[in-house]
């Protein structure tokens, strides 16, 4: 399915312009005045060329919840957002807690062809927090799982968390923790603060996240294993990660685009599109996570793409499901929250949205430089564009985006995966045709 493609005048990482020649699934040349007989020539003048984006936190829902998303629809959404690889969270049905399920997810991604799908294995059987799942079997399976998470549920038992950290150390795996103390968040609906009090919604305290992060930092330090903190959202959490890194603990952390931009003030209209786990926090927290991402305390941006059917959101706040779709909007939100604010440049964006997530997830062939000999995995982005985010920008099965109707900068125009275009001039390529 590989193509011969010649992109003329792209700005590599937003800097110097160069031509990019793609042949046989790899980047054949990068330079000025390139030519190639029979190549499809694309005018990429002024477009920002970034390594293919890698999302360490995606919910693809298949198997079991295909009404919300499938691997095919989710990876089409990924391609539209500039992603060439996504890590699929295990909260499927059956749960991805065995070699058979993760290999099924891998095969579905290969068949779809829009992005590499790297399964994440559950830490515990059925994500129930009672006993370890088949970590070794998933690691040695064809899916080569290296990231394990009970995302959606906290591994709340400290002994099980310790044993998981010890187990994955043998093959350089990482435990990705959903930091939420379940006892401190029973019935919680919104960030605990002035807005939740005024709206009469049960509060979700920052300490419920921070206490688990603090515990797990100490466990990771004791064991000498790798810990990754999912969707960090509070100023206190940033300080804990900063402290841990100064101590030399092998901890990494992610922040979502929505926690970089949106606050709990948006809940005042009881619009369940803004209901998410962890909840939207305060402006103080938003500024703190931005600073943490800018100074390297927070390692990556991950979408936590969480599709739901319309009936799960078109209801009263208390009954609504947590979660937002985010693959198509992620780069545009990071552009607004971080690049336009002068906190990151395009080289930094490539690090936090491509090379660092690939490194944390031990995913070969992604997050590589746009250079001769490298795999042809990259995206071209029109940073000068501006437009209102609309349902037409969504390509998955669900439309629960918090950005609908919001003006956002930029537009992803091309995504190249394994040497062929999955998105061409802003339009998804029908790979089956």
* Sequence-ordered list of residues with C-beta below 8 angstroms from that of 344, at least 6 positions apart, any chain: 293, 294, 334, 338, 352
Q: Which two tokens stand for residue 255?
A: 């922040």
- Residue 172 annotated to the active site: no
Say if CB 44 and CB 370 are below 8 A apart.
no
Which position among 151, 216, 304, 393 bears the catalytic label?
304
Looking at the annotation, which residues are catalytic?
A: 304
């Amino acid at each position: 399915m590989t193509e011969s493609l010649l992109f003329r005048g792209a700005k590599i990482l937003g800097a110097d312009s160069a031509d990019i020649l793609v042949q046989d699934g790899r980047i054949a040349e990068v330079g000025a005045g390139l030519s190639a007989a029979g190549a499809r020539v694309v005018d990429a003048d002024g477009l920002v060329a970034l390594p293919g984006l890698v999302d360490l936190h995606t919910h693809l829902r298949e198997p079991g919840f295909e009404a919300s998303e499938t691997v095919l629809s989710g990876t089409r959404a990924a391609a539209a957002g500039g992603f060439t690889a996504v890590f699929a969270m295990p909260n499927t049905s059956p749960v991805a807690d065995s070699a058979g399920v993760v290999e099924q997810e891998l095969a579905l991604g290969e068949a779809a062809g829009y992005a590499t799908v790297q399964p994440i294995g559950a830490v515990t059987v059925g994500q129930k927090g009672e006993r370890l799942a088949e970590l070794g079997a998933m690691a040695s399976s064809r899916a080569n799982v290296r990231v394990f998470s009970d995302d959606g549920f906290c591994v709340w038992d400290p002994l099980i968390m310790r044993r998981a950290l010890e187990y994955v150390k043998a093959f350089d795996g990482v435990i990705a923790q959903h930091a939420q103390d379940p006892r401190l968040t029973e019935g919680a609906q919104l960030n605990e603060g002035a807005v939740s009090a005024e709206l009469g919604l049960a509060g979700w305290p920052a300490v419920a996240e921070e206490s688990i992060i603090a515990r797990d930092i100490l466990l990771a330090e004791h064991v000498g294993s790798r810990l990754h903190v999912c969707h960090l959202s509070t100023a206190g959490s940033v300080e804990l990660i900063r402290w841990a890194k100064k101590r030399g603990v092998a901890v990494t952390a992610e922040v979502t685009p929505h926690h970089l931009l949106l606050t709990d003030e948006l809940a005042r209209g009881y619009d369940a599109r803004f209901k998410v786990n962890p909840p939207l926090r305060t402006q103080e927290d938003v500024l703190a996570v931005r600073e943490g991402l800018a100074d390297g305390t927070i390692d990556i941006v991950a979408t936590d793409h969480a599709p739901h059917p319309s009936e799960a959101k078109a209801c009263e706040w208390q009954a609504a499901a947590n979660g937002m779709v985010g693959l198509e909007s992620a780069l545009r939100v990071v552009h607004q929250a971080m690049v336009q604010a002068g906190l990151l440049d395009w080289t930094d964006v490539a690090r936090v949205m491509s090379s660092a997530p690939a490194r944390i997830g031990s995913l070969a062939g992604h997050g590589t430089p746009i250079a001769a000999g490298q795999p042809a995995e990259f995206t071209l982005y029109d940073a000068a564009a501006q437009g209102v985010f609309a349902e037409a920008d969504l390509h998955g099965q669900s439309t629960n985006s918090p950005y609908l109707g919001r003006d956002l900068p930029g537009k992803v125009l091309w995504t190249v995966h394994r040497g062929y275009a999955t998105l061409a001039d802003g339009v998804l390529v029908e790979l089956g045709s």
